[in-house]
Chain A
Amino acid sequence: MLNIFSEAWQALLNFFGPLALVLVVGLVVALTYVQINALFLVWLERKVAGHIQLRIGPKEVGPFGVLQTIVDGVKLLSKELITPRPASWLLFVLSPILVFMPVLVPFVVLPFGENLQIRDLNVGLMLIFAFAGLNVLAILMGGWASNNKYALLGAVRSVAQNVAYEIPLLLSAMSVVIMANSLSLRAIVEAQQGLWFVFVQPVAAVLYLVGATAETNRAPFDIPEAESELVAGFHTEYSGMRFGLFFLAEYTNMFIVASVATTLFFGGWRGPIADGPWWFLAKVYLLIFGVIWVRWTFPRLRFDQLMNLAWKYLIPIALVNLLATALILKLVR
């Protein structure tokens, strides 16, 4: 039996060469990291929310309540998976899977450190944005398949919001790309050797962070799942681990957009001293802390305000910023 596995592994090695080890280790680490990151972020979110609202937050399970999320996760795992009878069964079951799968793909190209990257594709940034777009289709699928008016309304809102905010997000990323002259995330970090792009492209950085908050469906842009209006939005009908997958995907998405922001604007793994993945992670979690802070500070936007903000302000500003960047680069180079 063991022989078969070693033979298969040998064949895989022959096929992929030394890349096989990188692929397998990378996949395992990414899968594990997604879970740990979600556990930590849920705890952080509840703690930060608690302190902002003059409460303490979770404190009973483990020191400072750090194990609370694990207990909640076990509870979710043991819950029944309910499928509503009028729901479209196949799409209903597929949706949480399709929401979760694309969030694993960006880990292939995220540059945690100078040599800590699974693969450096020359279309790395496009890969992340392309798979972020799949997320919306999956949310739409779940919202529609639930056959519930709140779920459908949440899904439709999610699409309108994501379509609107993806444009400034891409345009602001593009102004960095034409400065770095590459779509590869590693090359973008290398281009920031002297000066982080946040100081050269402050407008793009702000636009990116606003767009990223909207892309992850977080307050003040959380109208797809606005609790006080839509029960739970697109995932109203989901229970147990199916709901858990939506949750995991949301927190992983937060990590991904923060990592892309770190790579594009904050110098990636570079720091004042001792470059390395610790700088990357520190910046990412600082950004996420900011995003959480924003969520518990600002009220939700109304739907028309949200659309006006994207189409009348963010997109024109992003376009002007991109054109100005291109013009200045043309004159300087």
Chain B
Amino acid sequence: MSPAIAQYIRPEVVAYAAFGFTLVLVFGGALLAVLPKNIIHNVFGLATSLVGVAGLFIFLGSEFLAMMEILIYIGAICIAIVFAIMLSQPMHLQIPKRYRPKLIFSFVVATSLFISFHGIVTRTEWEPALVRGGDWEVARLGRLLLTRYELLFELVSLVLLVAIMGSIITAAALGGDKNPTGDEET
């Protein structure tokens, strides 16, 4: 009896099991985010998938990025999505039909994205997380963002600025029309 249990709780077995669970979260959540027709279920699926992604960051040795993933992508983005759904037409009550051209189009986009990502991933020579070193602390990330990846950092803020301006313009354009969604006033 004794060697059997010790065999099962070896560090690498536990690590693989944890990694497998994370993968299940990522892919299961992703499927939940796409397949169900109820849009609220989709958002919760997305949140599950993002929890899994946070787990992957922990496996890569950056606890900070994992926490940020939860804080920003689940705590802010998912909630903003749900909020937008709840404030718009009650789509969760009348489930919209799925149109075939739309489905095919999104399938093509997703597949080509997958192929290009796959190409990038297989052609890059990745260093294993252990070799690369586990020092991904806040200070180091900040230094990298303001030196080597400065351009990307600025581009991201530009994207955010454009998004904010876009939302302001959309809100201002719709502001004149008191009932933009066209449904009955209650």
Residues of A within 8 A of B (CB): 3-4, 7-8, 10-12, 14-15, 88, 91, 121-123, 126-127, 129-134, 136-137, 140-141, 144, 152, 155-156, 159-160, 162-163, 166, 183
Instruction: Identify 13 new A-B residue pairs, CB closer than 8 A, beyond the known A123-B63, A127-B67.
Output: A3-B1, A7-B5, A7-B6, A8-B5, A11-B8, A121-B63, A122-B138, A126-B68, A133-B70, A134-B70, A137-B44, A140-B82, A183-B138
A166 to B63, CA, bound (A): 21
A123 to B67, CA, bound (A): 8
Q: Is the CB of B138 within 8 A of A137?
A: no
Residues 55-76 of chain B, each 1 if its beta carbon lies under 8 Å from chain A, else 0? 0000000011001101100111
Q: Is the CB of B75 within 8 A of A15?
A: no
B30 contacts partner chain A, Cβ-Cβ < 8 Å: no
Give every chain B residue within 8 A of A136 (Cβ-Cβ). Answer: 75, 79
Q: Is the CB of B76 within 8 A of A133?
A: yes
Give every chain A residue within 8 A of B83 (Cβ-Cβ). Answer: 156, 159-160, 163
Q: Is the CB of B9 within 8 A of A11?
A: yes
Q: Is the CB of A11 within 8 A of B64?
A: no
Chain B residue nearest to A5 (CB atoms) is B5
CB distance from B157 to the nearest CB of A (A): 16
Using a CB-CB cutoff of 8 Å, which residues 1-55 of chain B contact chain A?
Answer: 1-2, 5-6, 8-11, 14, 40-41, 44, 47
A156 to B6, CA, bound (A): 50
Chain A residue nearest to B6 (CB atoms) is A11
Q: Which of A11, A131, A137 contacts B78 (CB 8 A)?
A: A137
Q: Is the CB of A133 within 8 A of B138?
A: no
A275 to B40, CA, bound (A): 49
A166 to B76, CA, bound (A): 10
Mostly, the B contact residues are: helix
What is the count of residue pairs linking A and B with beta-carbon distances less than 8 angstroms?
A: 93
Q: Is the CB of B74 within 8 A of A14?
A: no
Q: Is the CB of B76 within 8 A of A163?
A: yes
**Contact sample, A vs B, 10 pairs, CB 8 Å cutoff:** A3-B2, A7-B6, A8-B9, A123-B63, A133-B71, A133-B79, A137-B74, A140-B82, A155-B86, A159-B82
B152 contacts partner chain A, Cβ-Cβ < 8 Å: no
CB distance from B10 to the nearest CB of A (A): 8
Q: Which of B9, B71, B79, B137 contacts A140 (CB 8 A)?
A: B79
Q: Is the CB of A126 within 8 A of B64?
A: yes
Q: Is the CB of A122 within 8 A of B137?
A: yes
Q: Is the CB of B40 within 8 A of A134?
A: no
Q: Is the CB of A15 within 8 A of B5?
A: no
Q: Which of B6, B44, B76 contacts A91 (CB 8 A)?
A: B44
Chain B residue nearest to A163 (CB atoms) is B79
Give every chain A residue within 8 A of B71 (Cβ-Cβ). Answer: 126, 129-130, 133
Chain A residue nearest to B93 (CB atoms) is A147
CB distance from B33 to the nearest CB of A (A): 14
Chain B residue nearest to A143 (CB atoms) is B86
A75 to B6, CA, bound (A): 44
Interface centre among B5, B41, B68 (most CB of A within 10 A): B5
Chain B residue nearest to A126 (CB atoms) is B67
Give every chain A residue within 8 A of B5 (Cβ-Cβ). Answer: 4, 7-8, 11
A91 to B48, CA, bound (A): 13
Q: Is the CB of A130 within 8 A of B6?
A: no
Q: Is the CB of B63 within 8 A of A131?
A: no
B160 contacts partner chain A, Cβ-Cβ < 8 Å: no
CB distance from B87 to the nearest CB of A (A): 8
Give every chain A residue within 8 A of B64 (Cβ-Cβ). Answer: 122-123, 126, 183
CB distance from B152 to the nearest CB of A (A): 22
B91 contacts partner chain A, Cβ-Cβ < 8 Å: no
CB distance from A332 to the nearest CB of B (A): 19
Q: Is the CB of B44 within 8 A of A134?
A: no
Q: Is the CB of A10 within 8 A of B86?
A: no
Chain B residue nearest to A125 (CB atoms) is B67
Q: Is the CB of B74 within 8 A of A122?
A: no
Give every chain B residue within 8 A of A137 (Cβ-Cβ). Answer: 44, 47, 74-75, 78-79, 82
Give every chain A residue within 8 A of B163 (Cβ-Cβ). Answer: none
Chain A residue nearest to B138 (CB atoms) is A183
CB distance from A311 to the nearest CB of B (A): 14
